[in-house]
Structure 1
Amino acid sequence: MVRNFYLLFFILLCGSAQAENQYDSQSDIIRSVNPFIGTSNEGNNYPGAVVPWGMVMPTPHTENFREKAPNAPVYEHHDPYIYGFGTVNISGVGCPVAGSVPLKVAAGALDLSIENFQSTYSEQVAHPGYYSVYLEKHSIEAEMTATQRSARYRFAAKGQEQKFQLLLDLGANVSHKKGGAIQLNADGSVTGYQNDGQFCGAKSSTKIYYYFNVLTPGAVVQLYQDEQIVEGIQQIEGKRLGVAFTFETDNIDQVEVEVGVSFVSAENARENLKVEQGNKSFDEIVTAAQQSWQEVLGRVEIEGDKGEEKTIFYTALYHTLLLPHVISDVNGDYPKMADTETALNTQSKYTRYSTFSLWDTYRTLHPLMALFYPQQQRDMVVTMLEMYKESGWLPKWELFGNDTRVMVGDPAIPVIVDSYFKGIKDFDIEVAKSAFLKHGLQTENNLNRPGNDYYWQLGYCPEDDRHGDPKKFSFENGIVWGTVSTTMEYNLADYGIGQFLIDQGDKKMGKKFLKQSQSLMKLYDPENSFFHAKNKDGSWHEPFNPLDRTFDIRWENSGGRGFCEGSAWQYNFFAPHATSLLVKKMGEELFVSKLNSVFADGHFDITNEPDISYPYLFNYVKDGAKITQEKIPQIADKNFFNGPKGIPGNDDAGTLSAWLVFSYLGIYPDAPGVPVYQLTTPRFNKVTLHFDDYLYEGKTLTLKKNTDSPYFDQAVNANGKVFKNFEISHEELINSSELDFIKLPNH
């Protein structure tokens, strides 16, 4: 009866009669995920079908991408039309990318114009591993599911039209690079590649190879370019091109299409599909996808029915498992890190990953991977170190085998160091050491660390010499963006390097980096208690406005004078590795007063990364933990909820969702590279964490909240140890079988 109640609820919620037969065996966890959360309000998440860390995500496109790359996501929940479905889509990022290998469907006579495929829609259904929608203009039901490296589509014509159209439309992908190549093969399949590139203004580009096969026989197949049929050829290359398949609906009830994808070759795309789909039916692929989600989401087991809170939590956890995505093929091939259009291929002995939004994800997502999915996190670390061996540099914002170098700082280092100090050491330590020293010490031609020469000479990047005109800034020309922010980010990386080197026995060099990691204090202005940009001669750069967010470089809201995507308020406490030092520098009274002002005066911005740990910083001062426990649920409930607008802004590859996961559990990694969690009141009364066999030998930890109060006074483990400072080390956490959050009498 309980199962049938949930089933009825989901059918009514999603408006799909089909879901009744297809998904009546869904687990409680699968039913708790709502992929429509974050598909509006600039959350940039997509509802398409995907498996954990999947290379493909077939999803609807609600914009006309034949004409331009969007400033908005490829799918916006409230957009009036669907134009087609892309096979490779990157959910939760802020610049146009992918939307590759796009399919379009329509009823009626062949018409290649974009207006023909534009349709209103209804009856959307989305579950982990499955998406469907009814295209009202065409009376077509579209369904899609996925494996790790392939997609399966099923289209059913419900109307009375005499023809059914299906297009592979390579001119309708999302990125600035359009088109590709098409080869019609003797067996009826189509192979080729899709162009992609110029992400966030980067120059790099790539080719996404595909194997496209219509399983339903009887189509008339025609190549086209510039909306004109091209006769007499079997292959074509260019920008606005595609393949049209036309079916007589008198002879067919539905059309199924299978698509394999590879970043190496069309042959590998075919092998990926054949190995992963084999002879499975559409429904069997859906079942396998949902089983894969059940396994990874089931690492966190919530006891009891918590309604929408459970949906919000499991959807957030779901969103953290989309990126980085697998990029190696089933045979081990992957594109090596390269700055040229033609990437080399190799055989890997690990799973290779791609799409590392590291300035965002080093803060919350990778610490979450290290805790719950250490096997995958290990392979992500190995991936980054292999990228260093191939290109000479660790990635900064890697995409499809190229480093776009988007954002600031040196963010791969905190990820690797954090993994190392949480016990993930099954990687080449000497390569890591080499990479750390090169990144940290090279002062010329170091595009991963613009301004590294001044950073070591002065202890900071000066505002009056950023190695070029900031109005001409790009991520690839060495001009510094946000001198204060960049200094702070380098400091965090250097703290990690220092601790790593000392642990490896190089105390002299380690202490050098640790000393350098404190240099942000040279930018602390005691007159106004803000971090403040300085000039080369040591003078404060004027004018100074702590509210300014629009001064730097050429983008709106790109940052105040000296700051990256934020103001002096948003960076006033950004010293994750040195929070205790900052408390001492300010004094507890001023620290608490100004930190309170961040929230009371509207400076806190949960939608951007630099200040997302600030609610937890009250734990660093006496009697401050109660403020943390008060603020976390306020921020969570205001910004995260069960609906399309249920993420407060761009999810940034799962970073905001990971913040929510940790905050609901009551443990938060506020300082990546420091294996300690800040504690706050858990959202649920009882949660069991099932740790991975790879690193943690199948241990479990039960988190209990023994009070209905929003506050707790003590966290106590099963052995009776009290964690008095409202923090717990990683080692203590994973070696505890139980952690009770207790409200003491008369407190």
Structure 2
Amino acid sequence: MTTLILILSLLTRFADPFVGTDAHGHTFPGACAPFGMIQLSPDTRPRAGDWDGCSGYHYSDSLIYGFSHTHLSGTGCDDWCDVLVTPGAGPARFSHSREKAEPGWYEVRLDNGISVRLAAGRRVAMHEYTFPKGPATLTVDLRHRDPLDDCAIHFGPDWISGKRVSSSWARGQQVYFYIELSEPATCELLDGGRAARLTFSSRKVTLRAAVSSVSEDGAKANLRSEYPSSLTALRKSTRAAWNAYLSKLECPWKDTEHKRRFYTALYHTAIHPSLYSDSDGRYRGMDGQIHTADGWERYTVFSTWDTFRGEHPMLFELEPERSVDFIRSMISIWEENGKLPVWELSGWETDCMIGYNSAPVIADAVARGLKGFDVQKAFEAMLASSMRPEHGMASFRANGMVLADDEHESVSKTLEFAYDDWCVAQVAKYLGRMEEYERYMRSAQYWRNVFDPSTGFMRARLNGRWYEPFDPREVNNNYTEANSWQYSFFVPQDVAGLMKALGGLDAFEARLDGLFAAPEGTTGRTQADITGCIGQYAHGNEPSHHIPYLYGVIGRPAKCTAMVERIMEELYSSAPDGLCGNDDCGQMSAWYVLSAIGKYPFCPGWNGSGMTYIPKTIVLNPWFETASEMFSDSLQVSIAGEGDIWYRVDDAPFARYEGPFTVFNTCSMEAYGELDGERSFTTRCSVNKIFTDRDVTVLSRCSSQYTAGGPEGLIDGRLGGVNWRTGGWQGYQDTDFAAIVDLRAVRPLTRLAAGFCQDARSWIWMPRSVTFSVSDDGENYRTVATLRTPVGERDMNVQRWDCSVPVSLEARYVRVDAVNLGAIPQWHPGAGSPAFIFIDEITVE
């Protein structure tokens, strides 16, 4: 028994919190307990919007601004870092040689001589600051990093408390704190009460701290409920908690390096989700009201797009009781907010990612036989979430796919909605709800509508046609943080169907081989998340994580083992840069742990073995094939699909499609397929007969990602929608916009207009001014009007502005000049970077 205890006590030696703090891992090195409410850690990145500083700390830095009480691990967006405590006069330099960390503990000796030791429990934390000489001074700062909405500071002789309301990723996030001081201190409020300086008589100070989402009294009660007797006692108790968690799995390797990788990864899987309810069960819900978790604990930080894949399935095995509370938390979020969490943070739905991926978490829990939650209520929450007409779901239900006309990232959303629907079907079957089972199994096949049989890749449909031009390596707005290579394998619910669509087992295996053997590198938009590449496989982001295991699913275990081992050896290490991408609340680490023990689930929610399969019952949506969407004289149209195809032009009756036909005017077309008594959804396409009496010359350089089909897209008569990600807009970054429309002859004009878009969160602003000028000879221009935008620089609403000028004049040339905002303002997370102008359309009447 003594030997066993000794072995267990050593496991934290192999877990290194510094792993992932360098490169793009986005982890933090500070102190926290397993799934704890507090993460007390150093902050080296003081500015919001710093992508590699999302956790508040980056290993490349040499300046510590202080130590705050909440941190996110491995995320791709920044938030938390609440209630900063800064010792001494301000930020201080440090060296990693004088910095140490272990699970639940952090210490550093700053270059100014101040020694810092930190420990954390479930709801409490302790700081110890030792100064070279007295008096010791600390600043409690509520201004740190995220924009501050509201705050308050209260204090007594030996305590300080308050609240911080801030808006970053989560809007209006409320954190209350209570800090007990080891000795009386004088307190001076700074900056209108947004910070406080504490001055002590001695040179060594200890703080006991707690936080709450409810109130200062709640934070104080949390401290009293888990009151640590000393820093050493708290360190020991939290170390014991970590050792108990780490001991739940045995590392399959004996050497130290692999033990460090394994137990560090296992450590990172137990930071989030994080405890959210106070010691009395109260918490602030999604509706802003105070609720009570009676007999269970509420958690927060549900990064479901990441964690449904591996982390939650692993935690169902390692932490079944806590996992029940995770699902009860999800259900309560639905009760308060009307939908299951997508990416919930501190009682706020960020809607950061796609899908409704609480569904696979719940389905996997049911498939594994997890007890202790109301499955019927969870199913009702899944149904409600699956029918919300937002983020592409309305298009998915109406068209059997998400159309690129309606929503950005349409391919990824179609594929993930289809899988999520399959998960709903599995729970429906468990409950004997066969009507819902049949309905959701049918929609689980909608992945077929984005599968292009001519290329074997998943592609977007835009205006009834396959999106062009197409390059499977291209990163664009049709995919979520990925490209077609990476998303074309995301059909975990129907691997057999995908294999058949690709041409059988050999073709499927060849396509897998091609993914890993393809040249590295992507085209199109720069995407920071696409890292850790082997060919076009990108392990640094979640859409790829199941792909190596498809070798095993199709009966090629040797290839599966070889690729998984290669990924583990090449893309993980025990160094600070030992993660090839964001850890994403533990999913990157969970992949390593599950792969090491041979239990990675390629399809959460699947309770069988071998290959998943859905009998095909849907008819594919047909698609139109035309040389262009614009024509000057006539246009030949073809339609492809399966079964009998019926079509019509404008409001004519539907007729059986027999072969290509020609249109001569602007029109709308519709088509559907019929096969074995089943009918597809209707596909729609519109084509425009364009002006042949004018030309446009763009004098500015357009962004390669936002071309709207080229210069002619500015005068094609089709307006870009408010959702600029669906296309139709031309984007110009770090440059003004200028274009000339040549009418080929002097003509009478009655109106000049141009359309612009603003989405300040995405760095797109209205131009400062728009000037219309005209000329008869193309050399000498006279100004007609200069308009200034009515939209405010700080207006965060996504909106279109059509600036229009009535005129009564004659001219041949019309010039439009729009002045770019320039550098993004200092109040914005992208401060200093160049802004975009988005334009469509130029109208000359």
TM-score in same-fold range (> 0.5): yes
- Aligned counterparts of 1:452 and 1:102: Cα–Cα separation in 2: 41
**Structure 2 contact 99–107 (Cα < 8 Å) conserved:** yes
AA at the equivalent of 2:481: E
AA at the equivalent of 1:163: P
Q: 1:337 aligns with which of 277, 286, 296?
A: 286
Identify unmatched segments of 5+ residues in structure 1: 4-23, 227-235, 467-479, 553-561, 680-747
Q: 1:626 aligns with which of 558, 562, 567?
A: 558
Q: Given the superposition, is the C-alpha separation of residues 267 and 677 from structure 1 closer, same or farther in structure 2, using an over 3 Å criterion?
A: farther
Structure with greater strand percent: 2
2:35 counterpart SS class: coil
2:482 counterpart SS class: coil
**Structure 1 contact 97–196 (Cα < 8 Å) conserved:** no
- Aligned counterparts of 2:491 and 2:269: Cα–Cα separation in 1: 25
Q: Does 1:481 align with 2:408?
A: yes
Aligned to 2:450: 523
Q: 2:296 aligns with which of 344, 347, 350?
A: 350
**Structure 1 contact 327–354 (Cα < 8 Å) conserved:** yes
Aligned to 2:495: 579
Structure with greater helix percent: 1
Per-residue CA distance 1:103-140 (angstroms, 9 max, x = gap): 1012xxxx5xx55x455564111111110000012x01
TM-score by length of 1: 0.76
Aligned to 1:216: 183
Q: 1:247 aligns with which of 200, 204, 207?
A: 200
Aligned to 2:151: 180
Q: 1:592 aligns with which of 500, 504, 509?
A: 509
- In the TM superposition, residue 588 of structure 1 has moved relative to its aligned partner by 1.3
Aligned to 1:441: 387
Q: 2:261 aligns with which of 299, 312, 325?
A: 312
Larger Rg: 2
Q: How does 1:165-564 map to 2 (within 5 A)?
A: 165-172=137-144, 174-177=145-148, 180-185=151-156, 187-199=157-169, 204-217=171-184, 219-225=185-191, 236=193, 241-248=194-201, 252-278=202-228, 280-302=229-251, 305-338=254-287, 342-442=288-388, 446-447=389-390, 450-464=391-405, 466=406, 480-535=407-462, 537=464, 539-549=465-475, 551-552=476-477, 562-564=478-480
Q: Does 1:72 align with 2:52?
A: yes
- Aligned counterparts of 2:385 and 2:289: Cα–Cα separation in 1: 23
Per-residue CA distance 1:649-683 (angstroms, 9 max, x = gap): 1100001000000011112101011135789xxxx
AA at the equivalent of 2:109: Y
Aligned to 1:11: none
Aligned to 2:777: none
2:487 counterpart SS class: coil
Between 1:342-351 and 1:128-137, the stretch displaced more is: 342-351
- In the TM superposition, residue 355 of structure 1 has moved relative to its aligned partner by 0.7
2:485 counterpart SS class: coil
**Structure 1 contact 192–266 (Cα < 8 Å) conserved:** yes
Q: Given the superposition, is the C-alpha separation of residues 93 and 177 from structure 1 closer, same or farther in structure 2, using an over 3 Å criterion?
A: farther
Per-residue CA distance 1:699-726 (angstroms, 9 max, x = gap): xxxxxxxxxxxxxxxxxxxxxxxxxxxx
- Aligned counterparts of 2:386 and 2:484: Cα–Cα separation in 1: 25
The percentage of counterpart residues that share the same residue type is 30
Q: Calculate the aligned-residue CA RMSD, in Å.
A: 2.2
TM-score by length of 2: 0.67
Aligned to 1:671: 603
1:521 counterpart SS class: helix
- In the TM superposition, residue 349 of structure 1 has moved relative to its aligned partner by 2.2
AA at the equivalent of 2:493: H
- Aligned counterparts of 1:500 and 1:71: Cα–Cα separation in 2: 38
**Structure 1 contact 122–135 (Cα < 8 Å) conserved:** no
Q: How does 1:105-120 map to 2 (within 5 A)?
A: 105-106=87-88, 111=89, 114=90, 117=92
Q: Which runs of 4+ in 1 moved over 6 A?
A: none
AA at the equivalent of 2:237: A
**Structure 2 contact 282–290 (Cα < 8 Å) conserved:** no
Between 1:527-536 and 1:488-497, the stretch displaced more is: 527-536
2:76 counterpart SS class: coil
Q: Given the superposition, is the C-alpha separation of residues 146 and 677 from structure 1 closer, same or farther in structure 2, using an over 3 Å criterion?
A: farther
Give the number of equivalent residue pairs. Answer: 590
Identify unmatched segments of 5+ residues in structure 2: 519-534, 612-845
AA at the equivalent of 1:616: Y
- In the TM superposition, residue 457 of structure 1 has moved relative to its aligned partner by 2.5
Q: How does 1:665-744 map to 2 (within 5 A)?
A: 665-675=597-607
- In the TM superposition, residue 536 of structure 1 has moved relative to its aligned partner by 5.3
- In the TM superposition, residue 384 of structure 1 has moved relative to its aligned partner by 0.5
AA at the equivalent of 1:258: R
AA at the equivalent of 1:92: G
- Aligned counterparts of 1:176 and 1:224: Cα–Cα separation in 2: 17
Q: Given the superposition, is the C-alpha separation of residues 569 and 398 from structure 1 closer, same or farther in structure 2, using an over 3 Å criterion?
A: same
- In the TM superposition, residue 503 of structure 1 has moved relative to its aligned partner by 1.7
**Structure 2 contact 459–484 (Cα < 8 Å) conserved:** yes
1:152 counterpart SS class: strand
Aligned to 1:725: none
Higher relative contact order (CA 8 A, sep 6+): 1
- In the TM superposition, residue 563 of structure 1 has moved relative to its aligned partner by 1.0
AA at the equivalent of 2:210: G
- Aligned counterparts of 1:348 and 1:627: Cα–Cα separation in 2: 49
**Structure 1 contact 413–493 (Cα < 8 Å) conserved:** yes
- Aligned counterparts of 1:649 and 1:482: Cα–Cα separation in 2: 21
AA at the equivalent of 1:191: S
1:52 counterpart SS class: coil
- Aligned counterparts of 1:254 and 1:455: Cα–Cα separation in 2: 62
Aligned to 1:140: 114
**Structure 2 contact 212–278 (Cα < 8 Å) conserved:** yes
